[in-house]
A and B are shown apart, each in its own frame.
Chain A
Amino acid sequence: MCNSFKKLWAATIAALAISVGISNAQALRTITGVVVDETNLGIPGAYVVVKNETRGSITDVEGKFSLDVKTGDVLQITFLGYQDQEVKVGDQKTLTIKMVPSEDLLDEVTFVAYGAQRKASVIGSISTIKADALASPAGQLSSGLAGKLAGIVSLQRTGEPGAGSDFWIRGVNTFGANAKPLILVDGVERSMDLVDTEDIASFSILKDATATALYGVRGANGIVLITTKRGQESKPQVNFKAEYGLTQPVKLPKLANTSQWIDYYNELYVDAGSAPVIDDYQREMYLSGADPDLYPSVDWVDTIFKNLANTEKINVNVTGGTKGVRYYVGASYYMEDGIFNVVKDKDYSKYDNQIRFDKFNFRSNVDIDITKSTTLALSLSTQYYTKTTPGYDLGEIYAYTMYSTPIASPPVFSDGTLSNSDGGWNPYRMLNSSGYKRATNIVAQSLISLTQDFSDIITKGLKANVKYSWDADNGNVLGRLLSPTLYYTIGRDDDGKLIYKPWNEGTNYMYLSKSNSSYTTTNLEASLTYEREFNYAHNVSGLLLFSTRNRYNNVPANFEQSFAYKNMGLAGRATYSYKDRYFGEFNFGYNGSENFAPGKRFGFFPSIAVGYMISNEPFWEPIKETVNLLKFKVSYGKIGNDQIGGSRRFAYNSTINTNAPGFTFGTTPQGMGGITTGEVGNSLVQWEEALKFNAGIELTLLSDLSFQIDYFSDHRSGIFIERQSTPPIVGLNKQQWVNLGEMENKGVDMSLQYEHHFGDLYVSARGNYTFNRNKKLYDDLPDQIWSYQNLTGFAYNQQFGLIAEGLFKDQEDIDNWPKQDFGNVRPGDIKYRDVNGDGIVNTFDKVAIGYTTIPEINYGFGVSLGYKGIDFSVFFQGVSHVTRIIGGQNLFGASSQIHKLGQIYEDVALNRWTLENQNPNAPYPRLSLNKVDNNQQPSTYWQRDMSFIRLKNMEIGYTIPKKLTSKIGLSTVRFYAQGMNLLTFSKFKLWDPELDSSYGNVYPTMRTYTFGVNLNF
């Protein structure tokens, strides 16, 4: 039997042995002993059993035990977190057994699809990260992953409290409906961000065909496998952790100040042939602040944002077990508030519109041995989280903070009257007097599993398992919204009082808005596994598994959604290895999807993999000390995907659109709805297929340095797309969904790890690198008139634009240049290259430029140091080969309501082309009172390199010596300080380059400083 499994089950067997309590009565004597840790402190709760016997004992509070033994017995001592020890009993009366902390169990066992394998035998492409490396002050697990694992592409696209990250494995593989990986928590498809990091026992990503084949349909984009902690027999061990953090935006755009803005505004008018509209007197009034009601001068960023916001995180968990029952229970609380400076207005303070995200997690994982070969596991988990926000979306408030001009309106008039600029918006009142919204989500997850070991009944190594899970996810958003009357002023009357005009017809009554969502999901899984070693050379294992999944949308938006979303599959795996030198593995998934017509529903997805561990060959012995491990592996297989775009279900089914545009008839107008043909069914629609290839090398040198590299390719065919090539004269109102798209994705990922103890100094360093490049091969779009405009051959979402050649110097320059077909051009406008040489610059001259907004290169590297009680770690993350075409009115200038909403960035105010600054290489072109279409074309002029390297995480900690802490009954006390997103190095300066925004107008990412304490007892 496989060694790792022996260890996993040792405690169980030991316990069973004790419970059965069969004792051998011959020639026994009592021995006493103590089990101590590396600091010579007693370990309570350790198991001491006689090998191959049923006699055993558990150590007491001081680590002592007594046991009946006979000479020649071998004692096995096991304790969680320490290597198992075997001690042969001689004739001594007492024993002191010193335990050595284990390399984590997870170092030796890798979690794979539906099980665990010895690390050595894994030949699929799998990356695993230690659970403690996932700890980060971020509220959501996905936000802490960037750069941590080879193969991960993770981008934090907004900094809103409670927001997670966008996440792919090895980049984007399809332009079809579903490019995101499958997330499995304890084997069940669940949301990653709902898992508390402290509850995680292992975190792996499965990348190639052999690792994912068992999941068939759902695994095509890679799989994230998370297992949660379970108990082992020991006395209760308590882990407590509390953190307090301060957050601030990584970067806020710098806006023009009042004086810069007034100059800009006046210049627009001068440019348009008019006199400056803000004369010297008014300018002075604005700048002096003498009359802030009539002449406001507002720094909106300062008004709307706080300097710092807070996070709090508390986690406590207890693990342990007695004979036959093991448990892990955990609870955590997380809170994060927003950086908006909510002001409690005297009239509207009766409600709470603070921006705040609260999350509670509870988990209970219990294992019960019903008989010595039957185990029942019950895992219960609930997550409860709420988010309160003002009536307006945070992104909207943020955007209007960026757009509103310094002189648009006062935040509120000095007499307390609510203000809103005439023709603009007032972010202050959007924040403070718009009511509030409260989103609540309650998630309950339960899993029951029964495992039967047939080793003693049928054959050794055979097990069966039945698992059933039931998950519910209920959410609602409740809004108590307010829209009070707002006023603007048109001047002062003869008495000097402000003359107010109502901006809207408001009301002081709040009104209710509500929406809800509810999903329940059930999974049923039954499996048989077999694992055995023959003649100490042949390792054989097998798995056969059947699963079904039903997901119900309990608040469906339409009839179609009211049917359960079903999956069904049969999966199998067979592995063979010889003396840990040669490995072979075959996997298959046989999966069904409801989306296809009867007869087309099931797909067969096989994969094979072979591996060669050359370092286990006898001839390797001479250099084994230097090159400890060298393994080659190759895998190839086919995976399927059944998700169709546009929320389309049952693709074989034609639909009728009963909500089509209608018409108004009648002697008095009477609207009449329309009905029309809807989706065109396609009985031939089949699986989208991925052919995945992976080849990798694993290498360990001098016991300290390990390295792995994988090359991968993924070829998708049959991607679901709507037909694009039907001539428009046919007049179809809906294009049929067909299996026509084709795409490939290739790349490498690699990681390097180094660990060494120099006496008391512990050093570890790690780095990883992922490169992937995808390419659209077929999209059914007809050939473009200019073939360089075909999207095929380029990356999915490749940016296209004109090639800018600087700015026009003067009219002569314009006259000598090919005509630009985007409206009138004037000096200071962007000039573009006539790519096809037809004498006219138009959209036909747009070519592929730069990259996409998802980086091709993702990497991370870091160092950890430990010296006695002090530990320090630093971690950098970076991306490159990523570009974005930026825009938005802070760059382009507004073209209407400039007076109220025409704020621009300071950089634009200072450095743009103007009549005074006729710099043909200015970073911003001429701005105008009117929209200048020519300057807003996507082009290299506005394309920016969004590469960055970021000091993602830095942590320093101190653990109080155990000698001191054990006196007060604590085993570990650690204090630490941690910073996230501390420094960012990027060529792009306007806003945080990671944000998913071409305008920079989304809630910024946060920098976090955290202080925490961790107690174990």
Chain B
Amino acid sequence: MNMKHLNKIILAIAAVFALSSCDGYFDVDLKDQATLEEIFSQSTSTHKYLAHCYSFIPVDEEIVGSDGWTVGRSDESRYSWYQWVYYELYRTGSYSSATPSSATYYNYFSKFYTGINQCTIFIQNVDRDKQDSEAVRKNMSYEARFLRAFYYYCLFRQYGPVYIWGDGPANESITPADCDRHTVKQNIDFMVTELDKCIDNLPMEIGEFESDANYRGRVTKGAAMALKARILLWAASPLYNGGASWLKGIKNIYGDEIFPSTEDPNRWEEAAKASKDIIELNKWTLCKAKSASGVAFTDGFNAYQRILFDAWNEETIWGWWKRTSSAYSYMGGAGALLGCSCPNFTDKSITWGFGGIAPSLKLVDTYAMYDSGRFPVTGYEKNNDGNDYSRPIVDAKSGYKAEGWTEGYKQPVNAPWAPAFKAHNSTIGREPRFYASILPNGFYWPDKNSPKRFTCYSGKEATAPWAASGSAVRVGYAWVRFYPINHPLKAQTDYTGLKHVYPAFRMAEVYLNYAEACNEKPNRDEAEALKYLNLVRERVGLKKIEEAYPEVIGNKALLRTLIKKEKMVEFAMENMRHYDACRWLDAEKEYPCDNWTLKCTSENYEDSYQRVFDEFIGGPAKFEKRDYFFPVYSGDLAKMPNWTQNYGF
């Protein structure tokens, strides 16, 4: 052994041992991680953070598998394609706080609180942005403030009042035992106060500060006013204003009664004023037909179509580009709804036609008669399971015929190319919104490039025949409101290429909210109520309400009923009906029913216009007192042991 080798080895060993004391070996200069400071120091990334604050906006436009699920819960729709879209669970009341979040679409409790937290972080940090002007920063700050209030509203509409953090950040070390809901009043006052600040500070147009072309859709003063008006209307409504006896006296752990025990009629005045403020801005009007056709009926139809298909129209106060939940992403935002509501024609002229989304018979019955301007059905006789849709109480003055056929009928609008056919009398003489929304069995599919009659029954010649499972129109009426006339649907791009703006707030709601508040407020203003109700009717060519119903003058209750019907029709499947039916405390009376459909299993067209309740599998629709709010999921409750769960759960 030679000493040189030895020295080398000892040196090598010594060298590596020397390293072992070195904690610095693991030091990493990460540098990849932008810090919060950096993110907020630049304009682009600050805007992206704001975009993230927007990303919590509920997918209300998606009415099958996302936040818009309340459409399926209400009495305006009846989905036939329900095997994996849990809405059957809601309709039959088969849910509880134990229902796992995987089987619900309403479990957005923590999602919205996450959004609230993100907005607060944004508000606290936005002023670090030195690349944007103070005006731009202030604007963004108030947008986040609006969104935070909006997310509280999203919680409020599902769960009733919730815990309010106020303007400050959430306390991460809050003791779980200290968490409970605040009162209705505290919730509403907080949201309204915050919205007032937004109204004072937000611009009328985002284009006042930043590129309108790039940023249309960010919230403006109008959005804040519209949300405030809606919240105040809710605050005046029976559910939140002492009308629900079973909610009285429930106290939170802080000792406060969660729901008010007496009605505060002044809430109606506040609601009326909030709506009137918007009207007085004279900024938004109802959509009108692009060009006059000379036929009032057709103009009404075209005007109503523009609401959903003409982006950023004059009626939209605030809206957003339609998105979709991941389940339907392959069809694109607008296409998801469309595919689910289109008939599955046997010739496959519509790819992804599933026929699942369909109107309920009640919605079909509600549309007014065009000539008389009256609503054809005033109610239903009751059976054990609630409303018996086979026995509608028909208003004789309306001109509606529940039975019989008309030969040689020409479709009044949307398919001028279609030949005359034999139509059921109940589908004849209805108002333009009926034909814009509903395609009855026997009518022509409104695509001139693919002329085809839509028939759904069990016979061999039916073009979209009944099927017990899978994809079929099983109510007897297809839902065409989401379909732009003559749009081809043969390829995937036909769906993904459709881009629509979902109107989160539109002027028709403001008018109807105002009319409702004027009718209800202590200092009742019937003239104003009629005026604004009539604006909505006139847009689609319907008579003034007092001409159709001379008896409405001086009749607060009748006017209330007519406003409710008008709203159900005007906002069909826009995720409005359920929250209205709840705040009016109507859902208990209106929802329960068997699964009424047309008799689509019949062998021929003529027999298919009978009403039956035994073709749908599934239990009858139920709605009980507990169902006005949804339960907080048990997994969330476990982390807040003293949270006051909603009534009945």
Contacts and interface: CB of A to CB of B under 8 A. Distances in A.
Contacts of B25: 548, 566, 568, 592
A931 B88 CA distance: 11
Interface in A587-624: 590, 592-594, 598-599, 601-602
A268 B83 CA distance: 15
A318 interface: no
B153 to A, nearest CB: 15
Interface in A830-851: 840, 842-844
A728 B116 contact: no
B157 to A, nearest CB: 17
A832 to B, nearest CB: 13
Given A592-B26, A593-B26, A823-B89, A667 B216 contact: yes
B28 A785 contact: no
Interface residue tally on B, bucketed by range: 35 or more
A417 B595 CA distance: 44
Interface stretch (A121-129, A396-404, A892-900): A892-900
Interface string B586-615: 000000000000000100000000000011
Interface string B83-94: 110001100101
Given A672-B48, A733-B114, A784-B638, A822 B468 contact: no
Contact of A785 (B82, B215, B601, B634): B634
B619 interface: yes
Interface stretch (B131-139, B170-178, B238-246, B531-539): B170-178
B92 A930 contact: no
Interface string B302-343: 000000000110000000110100000000000000000000
Contacts of B449: none
Interface in A680-712: none
Which of A566, A653, A731, A928 counts the most B-chain CB atoms under 10 A from its CB?
A731
Contact of B470 (A466, A666, A729, A898): A898
B634 A663 contact: no
A169 B95 CA distance: 43
Given A666-B216, A821-B98, A897-B470, A661 B634 contact: no
A566 B26 contact: yes
Interface in A806-856: 821-824, 840, 842-844
B23 A669 contact: no
A782 B640 CA distance: 9
Interface stretch (B8-16, B281-289, B435-443): B8-16
A664 B94 contact: no
A466 B15 CA distance: 11
Nearest to B38: A656
A484 to B, nearest CB: 17
B26 A895 contact: no
A519 B442 CA distance: 65
Contact of B213 (A560, A594, A667, A730): A667
Contacts of B23: 592, 598-599, 601-602
A731 B640 contact: no
A758 interface: no
B390 interface: no
Contacts of A895: 83-84, 469
A662 B55 contact: yes
A604 to B, nearest CB: 13
B254 to A, nearest CB: 14
B639 A930 contact: no
Contact of B116 (A372, A526, A731): A731
Interface residues of A, number: 99
A570 B19 CA distance: 10
Contacts of B543: none
A860 to B, nearest CB: 39
A824 B618 contact: yes
Contacts of B176: 725, 727, 782
B28 A666 contact: no
Interface in A777-825: 781-785, 821-824
Contact of A728 (B57, B347, B640): B640
Contacts of A26: none
A274 interface: yes
Given A450-B9, A675-B48, A269 B468 contact: yes
B334 to A, nearest CB: 11
A650 B33 CA distance: 11
Contacts of B216: 665-667
A905 B615 CA distance: 29
Contacts of B215: 665-666
Given A272-B617, A457-B6, A824-B92, A663 B30 contact: no
A916 interface: no
Nearest to A568: B25
A729 B163 contact: yes
A469 to B, nearest CB: 14
A726 B110 CA distance: 11
Contacts of B20: 546, 568, 570, 590
A879 B214 CA distance: 63
A664 B636 CA distance: 31
Interface in B35-55: 35-36, 39, 45, 47-49, 51-52, 54-55
Contacts of A372: 1
A524 interface: yes
A842 B83 contact: no
B100 A733 contact: no
Which of B83, B100, B618 counts the most A-chain CB atoms under 10 A from its CB?
B83
A663 B16 CA distance: 53
Interface in B471-521: 471, 491, 499
Contacts of B416: none
Contacts of A729: 113, 162-163, 165, 170, 174, 179, 640
Contacts of B2: 371
Contacts of B54: 662-663
A464 interface: yes
A457 B9 CA distance: 13
Contacts of B295: none
B218 interface: yes
A456 interface: yes
A661 B94 contact: no
A654 B35 contact: yes
A676 B52 contact: yes
Nearest to A564: B28
Interface in B111-131: 113-118, 121
A928 B468 CA distance: 10
Interface in A218-267: none
Contacts of B471: 896
Contacts of B346: 490
Nearest to B165: A729
B110 to A, nearest CB: 4
B468 A726 contact: no
A873 interface: no
A672 B51 contact: yes
B27 interface: yes
30 contacts: A273-B614, A274-B601, A501-B348, A546-B19, A592-B23, A601-B23, A601-B26, A602-B23, A655-B33, A656-B33, A658-B34, A662-B52, A662-B55, A663-B217, A665-B214, A665-B321, A667-B312, A672-B47, A675-B39, A675-B48, A731-B118, A782-B638, A821-B98, A823-B88, A823-B94, A823-B618, A842-B99, A895-B84, A895-B469, A930-B83
In the A-B complex, the 4 residue pairs with the closest CB atoms = A674-B52, A559-B32, A731-B117, A731-B113
Interface of B: 1-2, 5-6, 9-10, 12-13, 16-17, 19-20, 23, 25-28, 30, 32-36, 39, 45, 47-49, 51-52, 54-55, 57, 82-84, 88-89, 92, 94-96, 98-100, 103, 109-110, 113-118, 121, 162-163, 165, 170-172, 174, 176, 179, 212-218, 311-312, 320-321, 323, 346-348, 468-471, 491, 499, 601, 614-615, 617-619, 634, 636-641
Given A654-B33, A843-B99, A930-B618, 8 more contacts: A273-B614, A546-B17, A560-B32, A568-B20, A590-B20, A658-B34, A662-B48, A664-B320
